[in-house]
Amino acid sequence: MMRTPPRRDLPPLSALKAFEATARLGSLTAAAAELFVTHGAVSRHIRALEEWAGAALFERAGKRLKLTEAGTRYRDEIGGAFDGIAAATERLRASAGKPRQLTINALPTFAMRWLLPRLARFQQMEPQVELRLVTSDEAVERLAHGSYDIAIRREAAPVPSGIIGAAFMEEREIPVAAPELLARMPVTVPADLSRHTLLHADTRPGAWSRWLAAADAEDAGEKAARQDFDHFYLALQAASDGLGVALGPLPIIADDIRAGRLAAALEGPALPSRPYCWLVPEAQATDPLIAAFCTWLEEEGASGDT
């Protein structure tokens, strides 16, 4: 006689979703926006979950929320479960004959300058897969569970709980500018940068300071004009348009140099920077398609075509 499996004692899914989103985003307001419900609804769901569990999940000080020790453990444990549900659902849809979609969440400059020109190579390997590319520079732990299969970020330590990753490509920074600008105002030594406008990006704070210190040319940085941009890809575009000199990362801008849109102002120092890493929810790490894409990234990153 077959025994009936025991009934699972689970809280309401709406309460779990409200808690997970609030714990991950650190805000009732942000969780409400993600879940398309009101601030009050999220708060009521969390209180209901706390009453159901008989444990406080958040410490409340005015409008501020802080996870309790129990809340932190619970967040880490159910985060992986949410990832597993998303992965299982994707596999179910694939088994029903729907084309598999692979969502890659990548840094904007990396996506435009390096990934997009190479993505057709992976598509040729997996023609049945629908590739969806989303650009963002938001920290991976703040992305919604199930909103991406693979994230690409510059290395950060430690890797967030519930996520695995590995570096696949090193980066080196050198000064670059439009060839026409360098023809008019050559740069033969770092001190020559004092006659140029140095292009800075908010998304790479301190990059010029680090490079100038490595080149023993802090004085040039103090004398040079300065222009700031809120994002790195704008600084690179400004350099291509002849507005000044940017710190360009190799191999990300290798295609621009080959095409003559940018030229190296100096050969060095080629200052090492944080490498690029793929990051995957732990529950999806064994998915064959996700593993294949990560392997492809590593092969592309290690190839000479960078």
* 102 and 181 belong to one structural domain: no
Which residue would you say has higher pLDDT here, 134 or 85? 134
The pLDDT assigned to 84 comes to 76
Q: Which of 144, 168, 167, 162 is nearest to 285 (CA)?
A: 162
The pLDDT assigned to 264 comes to 94
Q: What is the mean pLDDT of the chain?
A: 87
Per-residue confidence band for 306, with pLDDT thresholds at 50, 70 and 90: very low
Q: Is residue 138 part of a domain?
A: yes
Range of the domain at 204: 171-273
Per-residue pLDDT of 158-169, as tens digits, reads 777 788 999 999
* 227 and 152 belong to one structural domain: no
CATH code, domain carrying 58: 1.10.10.10
The pLDDT assigned to 5 comes to 62
Backbone angles phi and psi of 37, in degrees to 5 = -135, 180
* pLDDT, mean of residues 26-47: 83
Is pLDDT of 39 > 70? yes
Q: What are residue 59's DSSP bridge partners?
A: 66
Neighbouring residues of 251: CB distance < 8 A, sequence distance ≥ 6: 114, 169, 171, 306
Per-residue pLDDT of 231-259, as tens digits, reads 888 999 999 999 999 999 999 898 899 99
**Could you give the CA distance from residue 246 to residue 263 in angstroms, rounded to a whole number?**
11
**Could you give the CA distance from residue 233 to residue 235 in angstroms, rounded to a whole number?**
5
* 120 and 182 belong to one structural domain: no
Q: Is residue 8 part of a domain?
A: no
Domain count, the chain: 3
Per-residue confidence band for 295, with pLDDT thresholds at 50, 70 and 90: very high
Q: Is residue 223 part of a domain?
A: yes
Least confident of 84-98, 145-159, 257-271: 84-98
Q: What are residue 166's DSSP bridge partners?
A: 278
Is pLDDT of 284 > 60? yes
Per-residue pLDDT of 170-207, as tens digits, reads 999 999 999 999 999 999 999 999 999 999 999 889 99
Cα 87 off chain centre by: 20
Is pLDDT of 66 > 60? yes
* 178 and 269 belong to one structural domain: yes
DSSP of 99-128, one letter per residue?
A: PPEEEEEE-HHHIIIIIHHHHHHHHHH-TT
Is the link from the previous residue into 269 a cis peptide, with omega within 30 of 0?
yes
* 240 and 185 belong to one structural domain: yes
* 267 and 176 belong to one structural domain: yes
Q: Is residue 4 part of a domain?
A: no
Q: Is residue 126 part of a domain?
A: yes
Q: Is 165 helix (H, G, I), strand (E, B) or coil?
A: strand
